Amino acid sequence: MREFETTFKEGLRGGLRKGFDNSRNSEALTEAFNLKCYENGIRPFIPITWVSGWSLDWPYPQAFVGKNYRVLATRNRTYEIASDFDLVKALDVPEGQRWDFIDFGDYLLLVNGSTIVVNYNGSYSKESSTSIMPRFATGCNFRGQIVAGDIRTDWFDCDRGSVIWSKIGSADFTPGGGSIAGYRHIYWEDNVLRTIRLGDAVVVYGSNGIMSMIPSDATFGMKEILDVGIPTRDSVAGDDKFHFFVDSDRWLWIMGVDLKPKKLGYQEYIETLNDNFIMSYDSFNKDLYISDNSNCFLLTPYGMTKVHQLITSVVNIGGTSYGSISEGSNQDIILVTDTIDFGIRGIKTISTVELGVDCSSNVFIAIDYRYNKANGFSRSPWKLTGPEGVGTPIVSAPEMRVCVKTTPLVSDKMSMEDGIDMDYEDGTSMLYESGITFDDFNLDYINTKVKLVDRRFIRGPRTSDIRHNTE
């Protein structure tokens, strides 16, 4: 029986598929765990550095790096982060929602809807509100003005659906006067969830829509961007160049300074997160983390993967990413291709899988398979590849997915004689060492050798046409 070979290569560059409705034989992955997408392909995820003392109390703490100060904010306390990462200048505060950080260098604000923390020249205090500044729940620095929303105390006819702005270079929100301060109401019957600068505008996010505020003379003009909003205040992250947000239907979007949002996709993965997921952006590395207390996805400019660290906040200091994190128990690398049927609906046999792989740890392969298009996939036993990166799963089905996994062994009872024929019932039973990383893992391609064993749907010499659609 003649054997044919197909290659899966381009799908190893972009990470997870963007939509569950991908066509069969697409070059994309349905699972990419503990990997990260780079320009030249997927490589092992390098864990974020956890700082001792940043105790996790989901969804806290949050770390912020300003022009002059570094701050850590917990559920009911704020700290300054010293140069040696010690936590100093503790301030007890009332619990509210997650914090916004508004930085002006020697002057900064932290707001959570229940209080306003003020740092002026290194001295911290808290206020419920003042005669010139109401309490608000979200805000940003826009060219020396505070632009804030979700007003929590009496302030003219403002409410939680209002946006206010201060005088330039001041925290005085009193309307009128020089360097005019003011306020406006958003277009929708809604609360303001976030106000964040983006280029020459402030973007206002609500649960029923997204709009821009652009300065015009002594006030701000408003313009609707989308008529769909975000589910929570933590469903958006970014900097003054890019925003990322998840809409109410769990689609992920990106928006640049042109204020034109682009839908990226990934709904099927974001739907696996609970309603309290958090988005954190590392602007230095251009890495976006979307995490709840069970799962975390990592988006880079080149694609999305899933990682084992659960992240409430990430900052970059001196080129190193630090975070408040929880370590997941599974530190294996796992990837699974999208559905393949090689363009023929009959039963095929995958006899051999060849991996163009560099890795000092053991590498396993398995095959997901199904016989009925209406059913889910089953998985064959994990099989250890030989030193050449070759394994022989021998699985037959109409539809299949190729699975690759690497996990370091710590048991001397697990040995292989010929590098091919050892079966393992469940790869998750393999032991791993705490803190293991796979810096040397590099997978360039997956070659699959296929035999056509079912000719019921073939008329004529079709076997020469079997191919994985990579063109």
Contacts of 156 (CB under 8 A, 6+ apart): 175, 183
Question: Which of 272, 298, 327 delimits the end of a domain?
Answer: 327
Question: Is residue 39 in some structural domain?
Answer: no
Answer yes or no: do 150 and 28 share one domain. no
- The whole domain housing 430 covers 3-34+333-465
Answer yes or no: do 80 and 228 share one domain. yes
How many Cβ atoms sit within 10 Å of the Cβ of residue 21? 8
Answer yes or no: do 140 and 196 share one domain. yes
Answer yes or no: do 108 and 72 share one domain. yes
Answer yes or no: do 58 and 141 share one domain. yes
pLDDT at 417: 35
Question: Is residue 165 in some structural domain?
Answer: yes
Question: Could you read off the pLDDT tens digit of each residue along the chain, which spans 471 residues?
Answer: 667 889 999 999 899 999 988 888 889 999 999 999 999 889 999 999 988 888 899 999 999 999 999 999 999 999 999 999 999 999 999 999 999 999 999 999 999 999 999 999 999 999 999 999 999 999 999 999 999 999 999 999 999 999 999 999 999 999 986 678 999 999 888 899 999 999 999 999 999 999 999 998 878 999 999 999 999 999 999 999 999 999 999 999 999 999 999 999 999 999 999 999 999 999 999 999 999 999 999 999 999 999 999 999 999 999 999 998 888 878 899 999 999 988 888 899 999 999 999 988 899 999 999 999 889 999 999 999 999 999 999 999 999 999 999 985 443 333 333 333 334 434 433 333 334 455 678 999 999 999 887 666 665 555 445 544 434
pLDDT at 457: 61
Answer yes or no: do 235 and 377 share one domain. no
C-alpha dist (Å) from residue 142 to 102, 104, 213, 254 = 10, 10, 11, 20
Question: Is residue 9 in some structural domain?
Answer: yes
CA distance 297 to 37: 12
Answer yes or no: do 337 and 312 share one domain. no
Question: Is residue 18 in some structural domain?
Answer: yes
C-alpha dist (Å) from residue 1 to 4, 428, 449 = 10, 35, 12
pLDDT at 438: 55
pLDDT tens-digit map of 113-172: 999 999 999 999 999 999 999 999 999 999 999 999 999 999 999 999 999 999 999 999
Question: Which of 275, 292, 327 delimits the end of a domain?
Answer: 327
Q: Does the reported pTM lie above 0.75?
A: yes
Question: Is residue 43 in some structural domain?
Answer: no
Token code pair at residue 88: 């100093």
Question: Is residue 42 in some structural domain?
Answer: no
Question: Is residue 40 in some structural domain?
Answer: no
Domain with residue 125: its CATH number is 2.130.10.10
pLDDT tens-digit map of 140-153: 999 999 999 999 99
